[in-house]
């Protein structure tokens, strides 16, 4: 009886991402106390996770056979050891704390002028958000990713849960809130140039708390690399940075969208990855070419970060570590949509570094990865690792390394 109820609870949570105690009690026709006891039992076994004042589910992208085996194991053995499910040696692990947005993408002949209306040639409804996109990119780059995010309880929440749980992302923790809607992004893409304009409603992404991050400490410290951006609550961001620093886990921060709070975080960051606009705001130096990018990189480095990687769009990227500059040209690409280029670059960079690759190689891999990503129709479409390696192996490519004059 109890095992059957546990099975139903797991299936309900898998289907909904997060289910309230009251809903489970009503659905299974038992008391709330019984449900709380069941949830505590399942949490002790490592099947689900619980937190004070809320509920979340940790998803693992298992195939149908594996899911069935876990259910059968629950039915026949009520003393399941969570180590049997979680104790698998793995490398190249990336933990991503970040946003999930529903992207609403309009393809236009060109980007409109102020006050101008244009007819859209195509409209796409797609999963997105910098956190989700970067987690997907790292996953497609063959990293084992744990993604931490927060969504609402609106019409988009089921879509979010279903997408994340069935994606290439290995595991995820999805918190839910009734206070805010799931994040959304309105994206306008020029079919002429591939350039874009994006408007973001952060919603539930900004509601994730430091306490909710603390609950994920075991997952965070199990990572080889932590990857972050600024589409999430700053207090939660500070908490995961503190955990990473305490446990000597390298942290990559993509300072987008720019927020001046990032300046006080720089001494705690290993790799900062601004684009030209963000680098200009961080340094006070307008980045318009390679020379100004070098000056901006030095200025940002002097604020305490270990390495700076300025992404330069179609011109590639410039990295600086206090001793040398590494200029990595962009790989040739047939551009369809640049909206996810930065996210693709960051996810691929994190995955490559998590595998233990040299920094210069990771930059090259990220450049090749992002060149393939911009050839797809929307920001959440990511290339396969085998195609990235093919582009690397089939393209004549040279990075330029120069010593810092200081």
Nearest to 154, CA basis, from 129, 128, 178: 178
Residues 19 and 103 in one domain: no
Residues belonging to the binding site for K(+) are 337, 339, 373, 376
Which pLDDT score, from 0 to 100, does residue 75 have? 34
Which pLDDT score, from 0 to 100, does residue 2 have? 74
pLDDT in tens, 335-349: 777 778 999 999 999
Which pLDDT score, from 0 to 100, does residue 8 have? 79
- Assess if residue 294 is contained within a domain: yes
Mean pLDDT on 35-46: 75
Mean pLDDT on 285-303: 97
Residues 36 and 133 in one domain: no
The token duo for 225 is 């690399």
- Assess if residue 57 is contained within a domain: no
Cα distances from 400 to residues 47, 313, 319, 328, in angstroms, run 49, 17, 10, 7
Residue 79: phi, psi to the nearest 5? -110, 35
Query: Is the model's pLDDT at 305 over the cut of 70?
Result: yes
Where is 104: in which H helix or E strand?
strand 101-108
pLDDT: is 31 or 237 the higher one? 237
Residues 112 and 32 in one domain: no
pLDDT: is 75 or 126 the higher one? 126
Residues 77 and 153 in one domain: no
Residues 264 and 370 in one domain: yes
* Residue partners of 384: CB distance under 8 A and separation at least 6: 140
Residues belonging to the binding site are 101-103, 129-133, 231, 275, 311-316, 337, 339, 342-343, 373, 376
pLDDT: is 113 or 52 the higher one? 113
Residues belonging to the binding site for ATP are 275, 311-316, 342-343
Cβ atoms 339, 196 nearer than 8 A: yes
Which pLDDT score, from 0 to 100, does residue 375 have? 84
- Assess if residue 142 is contained within a domain: yes
Mean pLDDT on 207-218: 95
- Assess if residue 397 is contained within a domain: yes
What band does 45 get if pLDDT is binned at 50, 70 and 90?
low
Which pLDDT score, from 0 to 100, does residue 42 have? 75
- Assess if residue 147 is contained within a domain: yes
Cβ atoms 145, 355 nearer than 8 A: no
Burial class (CB in 10 A: 0-12, 13-18, 19+), 253: buried
Residues 155 and 269 in one domain: yes
What band does 17 get if pLDDT is binned at 50, 70 and 90?
low
Taking residue 315's Cβ as centre, other Cβ atoms within 10 Å add up to 16
Report the predicted TM-score, pTM, of the whole model to 2 decimal places: 0.76
Burial class (CB in 10 A: 0-12, 13-18, 19+), 72: exposed
Where is 320: in which H helix or E strand?
strand 317-320
Number of H helices, E strands in the chain: 15, 16
Residues 375 and 258 in one domain: yes
Residues 316 and 180 in one domain: yes
Query: Is the model's pLDDT at 33 over the cut of 90?
Result: no
Mean of pLDDT over the chain: 85
Q: How many domains does the chain have?
A: 2
pLDDT in tens, 182-202: 999 888 989 888 888 888 899
- Assess if residue 222 is contained within a domain: yes
- Assess if residue 17 is contained within a domain: yes
Residues 125 and 103 in one domain: yes
Residues belonging to the binding site for substrate are 101-103, 129-133, 231, 343
- What's the CA gap between 258 and 229, in Å, rounded? 9
Helix axes 157-166, 2-16, angle to 10 degrees: 100
Q: Looking at the DSSP assignment, which residues form a beta bridge with residue 172?
A: 59, 147
Residues 299 and 348 in one domain: yes
pLDDT in tens, 49-99: 665 434 555 544 333 333 333 333 333 333 333 333 333 344 799 999 999
- What's the CA gap between 380 and 339, in Å, rounded? 9
Mean pLDDT on 20-41: 78
- What's the CA gap between 137 and 135, in Å, rounded? 5
Domain harbouring 221, CATH code: 3.40.1190.20
Full domain range(s) for residue 292: 93-403
Domain harbouring 73, CATH code: 1.10.10
Nearest to 371, CA basis, from 403, 397, 405: 397
Residues 182 and 201 in one domain: yes
Which pLDDT score, from 0 to 100, does residue 73 have? 33
Beta strand 251-254 with 324-328 is unpaired
Cβ atoms 296, 360 nearer than 8 A: no
- Assess if residue 373 is contained within a domain: yes
Question: Is 343 noted as a catalytic residue in this protein?
Answer: yes
Which pLDDT score, from 0 to 100, does residue 63 have? 39
Mean pLDDT on 383-399: 92
Mean pLDDT on 22-31: 80
Query: Is the model's pLDDT at 19 over the cut of 80?
Result: no
38, 154, 224, 343: which is the annotated catalytic residue? 343
Residues 142 and 184 in one domain: yes
């Amino acid at each position: 009886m109890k095992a059957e109820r546990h099975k139903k609870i797991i299936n309900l949570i898998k289907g909904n991402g997060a289910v309230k105690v009251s809903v489970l009690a009503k659905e299974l026709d038992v008391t709330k106390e019984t449900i709380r006891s069941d949830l505590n039992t399942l949490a002790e076994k490592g099947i689900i996770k619980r937190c004070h004042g809320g509920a979340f589910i940790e998803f693992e992208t298992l195939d149908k056979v594996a899911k069935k085996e876990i259910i059968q194991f629950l039915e026949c053995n009520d003393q399941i050891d969570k180590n049997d499910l979680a104790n698998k040696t793995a490398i190249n692990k990336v933990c991503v704390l970040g946003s999930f947005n529903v992207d609403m993408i309009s393809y236009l002949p060109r980007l409109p002028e102020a006050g101008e209306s244009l007819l859209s040639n195509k409209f796409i409804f797609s999963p997105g958000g910098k956190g989700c996109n970067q987690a997907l990119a790292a996953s497609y780059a063959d990293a084992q990713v744990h993604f931490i995010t927060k969504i609402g309880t609106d019409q988009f929440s089921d879509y979010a849960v279903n997408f994340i749980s069935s994606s290439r992302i290995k595991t995820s923790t999805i918190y839910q809130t009734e206070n805010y809607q799931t994040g959304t992004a309105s994206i306008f893409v020029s079919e002429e140039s591939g350039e874009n304009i994006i408007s973001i409603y952060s919603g539930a992404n900004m509601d994730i708390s430091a306490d909710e991050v603390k609950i994920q400490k075991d997952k965070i410290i199990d990572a080889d690399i932590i990857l972050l951006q600024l589409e999430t609550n700053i207090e939660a961001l500070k908490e995961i940075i503190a955990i990473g620093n305490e446990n000597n886990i390298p942290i990559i921060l993509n300072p987008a969208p720019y927020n001046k709070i990032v300046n006080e975080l720089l001494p705690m960051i290993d790799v900062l990855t601004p684009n030209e606009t963000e680098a200009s705001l961080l340094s006070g130096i307008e980045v318009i070419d390679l020379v100004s990018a070098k000056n901006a990189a030095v200025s940002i480095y002097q604020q305490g970060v270990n390495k700076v990687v300025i992404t330069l769009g179609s011109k590639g990227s410039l990295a600086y570590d206090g001793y040398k500059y590494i200029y990595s040209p962009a790989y040739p690409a047939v551009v369809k949509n640049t909206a996810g280029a930065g996210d693709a670059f960051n996810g691929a960079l994190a995955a490559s570094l998590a595998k233990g690759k040299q920094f210069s190689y990771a930059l090259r891999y990220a450049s090749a990865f992002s060149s393939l990503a911009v050839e797809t129709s929307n920001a959440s479409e990511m290339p396969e690792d085998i195609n990235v390696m093919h582009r690397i192996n089939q393209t004549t490519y040279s990075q330029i390394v120069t010593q810092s004059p200081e």
